[in-house]
């Protein structure tokens, strides 16, 4: 599994393409022929382009193109800055704006899948699950890059679970066979997904068992350790084990300060404080009634 499932890669960075700029692209045809296209345009079922200044435009059927490779410019420094500050919505807006010139070619396989995978991840992080699911569903059917395809499957399952779509999530993981891959040596992302699904189904003891396996056997994998520890705190909270949950939250704040999990852990701590107050009130009312 790609170690960057929960982090932005240096390769997936902001694209800066002017909306009024002509679009150059390399067209890889199904027969193996490669065209260098200038000022690529879409005309229904056709793609029209020239091969150089003053040349007669060429038209090829969109369904005969195996892949389009667009020329993009990357701004690593800007993206890393926004990511560090967890300004995910601003990254999404910038990517949406940058990808707009290529919107007419969305049905044709291209190197833009990498950037769409980044959008899929960012939409998941801000809780825009429907948008994340729409993107992941498309990437999951694209077998050109097994790593991106696997990443899309992971985020598709996570988005279904976090959206509370229990039956769909269960059907999806069963289809992929992940419900059978829960042994100690299973991939951490699959253990984590199954733990989240069990928590969604309120099977908290099984959820804790699975998340404990992630933590125990993947201590050197921060991409899964951090969310697993947060899930551990969340399960403790659901079980009413507030002291244990707060201890995990303290560890997250200490070890992963400034991370997405740290931010969520702080929100969880506020929730626990509210639950404690509610529990004290309920106990007091019960005593008065007795």
pLDDT confidence tier of residue 21, bands split at 50, 70 and 90 = low
Answer whether 0.85 is exceeded by the pTM.
yes
Q: How far is CA 12 from the centre of its chain?
A: 13
**Residue in the block written with tokens 């002017």:** 18
Question: How far apart, in whole angstroms, are the C-alpha atoms of residue 104 and residue 266?
Answer: 42
pLDDT value at residue 273: 96
Beta bridge partners of 69: 26
- Check residues 245 and 19 and name the one with the higher pLDDT: 245
pLDDT at 173: 97
Pick the range with the lowest mean pLDDT from 2-6, 76-80, 244-248, 272-276. Answer: 2-6
Residue 7 pLDDT > 60, yes or no? no
Please tell me the distance from the alpha carbon of residue 19 to that of residue 163, in angstroms, as a whole number. Answer: 34
Q: What is the CA radius of gyration of the chain?
A: 23
In the chain, % of residues over pLDDT 90 = 72
Q: Is the pLDDT of residue 10 over 60?
A: no
Angle of CA points 37, 41, 42, to nearest 5°: 125
* Count of beta carbons in the 10 Å neighbourhood of residue 43: 11
- Split at pLDDT 50, 70, 90, the class of 290 is low
DSSP strand pairing (25-29 vs 14-15): unpaired
Q: Which residues contact 63 (CB under 8 A, 6 or more apart)?
A: 45
Q: What is the pLDDT of residue 15?
A: 43
Q: Is the pLDDT of residue 25 over 50?
A: yes
What tokens appear for 133 in the block?
A: 């699911």
Note the pLDDT of residue 72.
Answer: 73
**Coil, helix or strand at residue 38:** strand
What's the pLDDT band for 11 if we cut at 50, 70, 90? very low
Query: What's residue 181's pLDDT?
Result: 81
Residue pair 7/84 in contact (Cβ under 8 Å)? The answer is no
Whole-number pLDDT of residue 20: 44
Whole-angstrom distance, CA of residue 259 vs CA of residue 129: 20
Are the C-beta atoms of 207 and 199 separated by less than 8 Å? yes
pLDDT tens profile 124-178: 999 999 999 999 999 999 999 999 999 999 999 999 999 999 999 999 999 999 9
Phi then psi for residue 288, to 5 deg, are -65, -40
Which whole number is the average pLDDT over 57-71? 94
Question: Sheet harboring 65-70: ordered strands across?
Answer: 58-61, 46-50, 34-43, 25-29, 65-70
In the structure, what pLDDT confidence band is assigned to residue 6 with cuts at 50, 70 and 90?
A: very low
Q: Are 67 and 109 in contact (CB under 8 A)?
A: yes
Give the model's pLDDT for residue 74. Answer: 66
């Amino acid at each position: 599994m790609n170690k960057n499932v929960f982090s932005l890669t240096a390769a997936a960075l902001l694209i800066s393409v002017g909306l009024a700029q002509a679009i150059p692209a390399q067209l890889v045809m199904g027969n193996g022929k490669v065209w260098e296209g200038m000022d690529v345009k879409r005309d229904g079922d056709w793609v029209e382009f020239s091969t150089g200044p003053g040349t007669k435009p060429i038209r090829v059927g969109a369904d005969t193109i195996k892949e389009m490779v667009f020329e993009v410019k990357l701004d690593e420094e800007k993206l890393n800055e926004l990511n560090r500050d967890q300004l995910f919505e601003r990254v999404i807006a910038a990517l949406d704006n940058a990808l707009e010139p290529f919107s007419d070619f969305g049905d044709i396989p291209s190197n833009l899948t990498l950037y769409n995978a980044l959008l899929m991840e960012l939409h998941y992080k801000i809780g825009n699950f429907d948008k994340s699911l729409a993107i992941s569903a498309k990437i999951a059917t694209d077998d050109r890059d097994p790593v991106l395809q696997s990443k899309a499957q992971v985020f598709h399952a996570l988005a279904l679970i976090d959206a509370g779509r229990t039956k769909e999530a269960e059907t999806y993981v069963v289809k992929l066979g992940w419900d059978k891959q829960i042994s100690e040596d299973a991939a951490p992302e699959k253990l984590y997904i199954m733990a989240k699904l069990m928590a969604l189904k309120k099977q908290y003891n099984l959820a804790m068992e699975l998340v404990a396996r992630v933590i125990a056997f993947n201590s050197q994998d921060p991409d899964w350790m951090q969310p697993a520890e947060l899930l551990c705190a969340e399960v403790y909270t659901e079980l009413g084990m507030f002291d244990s949950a707060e201890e995990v939250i303290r560890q997250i704040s200490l070890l992963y300060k400034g991370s997405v999990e740290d931010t969520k852990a702080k929100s969880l701590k506020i929730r626990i404080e509210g639950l404690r107050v509610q529990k004290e009130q309920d106990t007091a009312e019960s005593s008065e009634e007795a």
